[in-house]
Structure 1
Amino acid sequence: MRKGKVYLVGAGPGDHELITVKGLESIRKADVILYDRLVNPRLLEYAKAHCELIYCGKLPTRHFMRQEEINRTLLEKALAGFTVVRLKGGDPSVFGRVGEEAEVLADHNVAYEIVPGITSGIAAPLYAGIPVTHRDYAGSFAMVTAHDKSKDGKPDIDWEGLVRGVQTIAFYMGVSNLNHICENLILHGKSPDTPVIVIRWGTWSRQKSVVGTLSSIVQKVQDENIENPAITLVGDIVATRDKIKWFEKKPLFGQQMILARGSAEEESMVDQLIDQGADVIEFPKWKISEGSLDVKVRNKLAMYKRILFTTTEAVTHFFNLLKKYQIDIRQLQAKIYCLKPASIIALEDRGLMTSLADDMDAEGSLLIVGTKLKSEQRWKLDYKYGEHDYADVYQSSIDERFDVAIKRSIEDASITSVLFSTSDSVHTFMREAEHYGLSIRTLDPTINIICLTKQVWQTAANYGLKSKMLVESSDYVDFSSLDRSRLFVATTIG
């Protein structure tokens, strides 16, 4: 059997857009992905539909996946002929144990590539407004592990050389050893007044920064209850923060939101929200699988006078199936209609002029193209459009591969908001929340429920949500113009 290949990929520090182009291409061609806790789950969305996703972090019923088990899994999957991606937070060569994994692969003659990533020791300070070098403050920079393999886990460092030779020092995962670090830096010549910043969850909206000095930072970190993952940056360069910090000024910075989606067809606002500074957990993840064209429909394609596409996905899969069944598009003689404006673009890209369903006449045989529907949904179409044929060219379902990633994301976050854009999203959330570790009746009362239309708000209210106010626009909310004070429209159950 042909051996596969392993890509040891740096995923960057958290912001999913900080991955390299080569890293992203590796994800897209992977058959198997082993990913760490600090990898942004959004990167997994670029994987193929049948890619196996393996979480290497802490599961609810077990400890961390040991390095030996990770090594063994990489070998087994590669020897079975798969393309494997080992997706690691930050840069794999900076305290990422990539050398150990590469050695195992080399020992077994398994082909591999190492794809660098942006390391958190540089990215987290930048997102806190601090470049690690600056002509006025620092011309040297060092990255130091705050843990090692010693019995007590305290770093065995050339403290004197570090203090004498480096102006900016980044300690990785150093919260538990922060007192030891500060004491040794002072003992070996650093001034107790040297500025220090500890940055937790750097590049995420949950990013939190605590600024102090070598003599005061330990107490400040304790007072703010800061834990790992965190970067500790030591040096005069910290003084640049007040002037050039940018990320924390975004309008939705600090918002950790669950975006509930009732189906794969619902338009996602994730990119809008992230661009405004929010962390967003899509809940749940949906997948789409292609359906078929019934023989009866195929034989009648040239006879239909009207074709109505219910979603953009229906457009894509309908024409995929025409190609699959080798049906010439020129057979279509019908007038084309769609329910959503976005579908117009997809149809016009194929050279088909179309109109919205509101403008559809009532004459002639009708084919409706969409997803696989339940009986009550079909009844609604019968009631609205009368006699017609229906082609379920695709179906959507919850993608269970993302269950672990979603649960882990919810555990790591301090959720501030849940956003509903449709009534289906409310129903799905209420039905699936317990599965993902959310107890509906014990939600933190400070969590805000956001509803984008009056109808959605009414659906949420039927589940026991109490309203505070309604969104100004009943149909669409432009998040680029919203700030936090205008965003919330309901409180949680109470």
Structure 2
Amino acid sequence: MGVNNLQQITDQLLAHGRSRDEPALIIEWGTTGRQRTVQASLATLALTAKEASISNPAITLVGRVNHVYETKSWWERKSGFGQSYIVAYDEHYNEGIQQELQETGANVLVYPHVTSIAKPSPTDNWHDVTSICFEDAQAVRHWIVWLRECNVDIRQLRAELIVRTECAAKQLEQFGLSAIQDDTREAEVSLSGLPGTEQIGTTTHTYHPISHDCLAKQFESGERQTVHFPTVESVSFFVDSLRQGGIDWVANYIDAICMDREVEQVVKPYFAIKEEEHESDLVRRSWQSGESRVEQFERFIHEVMVLYPEPEVFQTYGFIELSSPTIAEAMNHCVQNGATEITVVPVLLLTAGHAS
């Protein structure tokens, strides 16, 4: 830090006996895709930094340690260094995509930053519903929350369960439920956790203002930017967030790269489609890696539910701690919060002064 006072700092070092020719180095935005390095002598460091428009955050190194620096640091030699990616948010895969891309040295912006909570249940009489259709996995999770809040025993339900997506089917399986996968079959109640849905919305989505600011800055230059859409769900979140954030104008500067043809059909009404390029291969591999990670968690959840069918307390990284009636819900919470390592700890739950 201290870039704004760099001239004063170097003057003081020189006044206290440091050599004018002593090597110095400034590293701006270290270990990110925006990293820049400027070399100079101690006497010329402030002027060189000003000419290069170096700003905080940055660190300054003075002395013989700078002889170790060659043409590029280990971070600058990473395959993705200097590249920037905008990836549309999807609740299942973005953590994997972001991590994989950042490990290559790339600068990654996932948009939008979303907090999702369940809405109140639209009915207390789930026993009377004859058929329920789920558009996505989040709709399933929040439906389970509603059943618990309404004190409904899921074993007594007579509703036929229908799903539109594979994710919804897998989520139901985590709760021991099976469903018919059908894109056209009508249902008495249709639920969706996606924004802008025409179905009964299960979820309230809050978009954090800082994510709107970060995206808008990417387009300040007026140049076109490439946005990667991994899933159909990611398109819904992206478009709805642009509208709510009042930055719809950026749509005119977006070239979209889609992970498959289904996503492309959904994107077409909103953004220009860009043919995949070499750089998009890295995003695709990262997306597939994230998808595999979720599938591994789903298998693990199933195995744990067999071993520990009773309520548990879950801890991930020692930071997230919660109590849940089902292991699946707690594990999903951990995955959504970016956990890649989860420890399941069975404990006695204490309520009203006695152990349950």
How many Å separate the matches in 2 of 1:368 and 1:463?
Answer: 25
Q: Which residue of 2 aligns with 1:452?
A: 259
SS in 2 for 1:478: helix
Is the Cα–Cα contact under 8 Å of residues 288 and 397 in structure 1 kept in the other structure?
yes
Matches within 5 A, 1:282-293: 282-293=110-121
Q: Which residue of 1 aligns with 2:192?
A: 370
Q: Which residue of 1 aligns with 2:68?
A: 240
How many Å separate the matches in 1 of 2:210 and 2:279?
Answer: 36
What's the offset of the Cα at 1:326? 0.6
Q: List per-residue Cα deviations over 1:407-437 (Å, max 9, x = no partner).
A: 167549988643334454664476467x359
Q: Which residue of 2 aligns with 1:354?
A: 178
What's the offset of the Cα at 1:265? 5.5
Residues 405 and 481 of structure 1: is their aligned pair in 2 closer, same or farther, counting only changes over 3 Å?
Answer: closer
Q: Does 1:309 align with 2:104?
A: no
Q: Does 1:420 align with 2:229?
A: yes
How many Å separate the matches in 1 of 2:61 and 2:111?
Answer: 35
Q: Which residue of 1 aligns with 2:340?
A: none
RMSD over equivalenced CA pairs, Å: 4.5
Instruction: Choose the corresponding residue for 2:149, options 324, 330, 345.
Output: 324
Q: Does 1:280 align with 2:108?
A: yes
Q: Which residue of 2 aligns with 1:156?
A: none
How many Å separate the matches in 2 of 1:325 and 1:481?
Answer: 38
Residue 284 of structure 1 aligns to which amino acid in structure 2?
P
What's the offset of the Cα at 1:200? 1.5
Is the Cα–Cα contact under 8 Å of residues 255 and 417 in structure 1 kept in the other structure?
no
Q: List per-residue Cα deviations over 1:327-353 (Å, max 9, x = no partner).
A: 112113566554444445533332x15
What's the offset of the Cα at 1:373? 7.7
How many Å separate the matches in 2 of 1:412 and 1:361?
Answer: 40
Unaligned runs of 5+ in 1: 1-171, 379-391, 483-494
How many Å separate the matches in 1 of 2:81 and 2:23?
Answer: 25
What's the offset of the Cα at 1:472? 11
Residues 246 and 448 of structure 1: is their aligned pair in 2 closer, same or farther, counting only changes over 3 Å?
Answer: farther
Q: List per-residue Cα deviations over 1:73-111 (Å, max 9, x = no partner).
A: xxxxxxxxxxxxxxxxxxxxxxxxxxxxxxxxxxxxxxx
Is the Cα–Cα contact under 8 Å of residues 407 and 437 in structure 1 kept in the other structure?
no
Residue 154 of structure 2 aligns to which amino acid in structure 1?
I
Q: Which residue of 2 aligns with 1:202?
A: 30
How many Å separate the matches in 2 of 1:369 and 1:355?
Answer: 14
Instruction: Choose the corresponding residue for 1:407, options 213, 218, 228.
Output: 213
The structure with the largest alpha-carbon Rg is 1
How many Å separate the matches in 2 of 1:278 and 1:414?
Answer: 20
Instruction: Choose the corresponding residue for 1:397, options 205, 217, 220.
Output: 205
Residues 241 and 412 of structure 1: is their aligned pair in 2 closer, same or farther, counting only changes over 3 Å?
Answer: farther
What's the offset of the Cα at 1:471? 8.1
Residues 311 and 481 of structure 1: is their aligned pair in 2 closer, same or farther, counting only changes over 3 Å?
Answer: closer
How many Å separate the matches in 1 of 2:66 and 2:59?
Answer: 13
Residue 284 of structure 2 aligns to which amino acid in structure 1?
V
Residue 178 of structure 2 aligns to which amino acid in structure 1?
T
What's the offset of the Cα at 1:322? 0.9
Q: Which residue of 2 aligns with 1:13?
A: none
How many Å separate the matches in 2 of 1:246 and 1:272?
Answer: 17
Residue 238 of structure 1 aligns to which amino acid in structure 2?
N
Q: Which residue of 2 aligns with 1:125?
A: none
What's the offset of the Cα at 1:281? 3.2
How many residues get paired? 280
How many Å separate the matches in 2 of 1:439 and 1:238?
Answer: 42
SS in 1 for 2:148: helix
Is the Cα–Cα contact under 8 Å of residues 216 and 250 in structure 2 kept in the other structure?
no
Identity %: 24
Is the Cα–Cα contact under 8 Å of residues 242 and 248 in structure 2 kept in the other structure?
no
Residues 299 and 449 of structure 1: is their aligned pair in 2 closer, same or farther, counting only changes over 3 Å?
Answer: closer
Residue 181 of structure 2 aligns to which amino acid in structure 1?
A
Is the Cα–Cα contact under 8 Å of residues 426 and 459 in structure 1 kept in the other structure?
no
* TM-score, length of structure 1 as denominator length: 0.45
* TM-score, length of structure 2 as denominator length: 0.60
